[in-house]
Amino acid sequence: MTNIVIINGHQKTPTAHGKLTRTLVQTMKEVFARNKDFHVKVSTLQKGWDIKKEQAKFMWADTIIYQYPIYWFHAPALLQKYLQEVLEYGIFYGTPNRPYGEGGKLTDKTYMLSTTWNSPLDAFGQGFWAGTPSPDDALIAMHKVQQFIGLKPLPSFSCHNVIKNPEIHEYINGLKHHLELIFLK
């Protein structure tokens, strides 16, 4: 049995209502529901959270999947607030006598980033994104947070041009394929 927590990190704005994020979270739930070896819990941050319940979800999970849009080259402020409140010292990190960054307590767990960008994928590594060859390179801070608490990375998934040229069916099919490769080998 594999326990998965999906964190819907969308933060509503006047121009972003979260439909694509909800669609991708629903797609994940459907993929995992096809196999009874998976148990899934979802945290929708826009609805609020109870810190202790969220901490318990992390402890229960084998894998944490973060699904969120990129706002101003970062995770939404709501997701950052969630991490600041939930990832508590002594529970998630803080092993004495370890070098900085090596005291994470969730070393038997994995994580996956699934993000949506207005930036086209082929823009990475050139022009504005010169020196940043991939979305994962742009998300180094989020990857470091996960490493800090001991989580091991799984390959990331990303959707691009979501405002200028949305390809919803392509995103859904790409996500299904990605999840099948990683989880249903």
Residue showing tokens 């945290």:
43
Secondary structure (3-state) at 127? coil
Is the pTM for the entire model greater than 0.85? yes
> What total number of domains does the chain contain?
1
- Segments in the chain below pLDDT 70: none
Cβ contacts of residue 60 below 8 Å, gap of 6+? 3, 5, 41
Question: Domain holding 101: CATH number?
Answer: 3.40.50.360
User: pLDDT tens across 92-117, in order?
Assistant: 999 888 889 888 999 999 999 999 99
Give the chain's radius of gyration (CA, Å): 16
Instruction: Return the number of other C-beta atoms located less than 10 Å from residue 131's C-beta.
Output: 8
pLDDT of the residue at 117: 94
Secondary structure (3-state) at 30? helix
**What is the extent of the structural domain holding 137?**
2-183
pLDDT of the residue at 96: 83
pLDDT of the residue at 15: 82
Alpha helices (runs of H) in 34-163, residue ranges in sequence order: 51-60, 77-86, 135-138, 140-148
User: pLDDT tens across 117-133, in order?
Assistant: 999 899 999 999 999 89
Alpha helices (runs of H) in the chain, residue ranges in sequence order: 19-33, 51-60, 77-86, 135-138, 140-148, 168-183
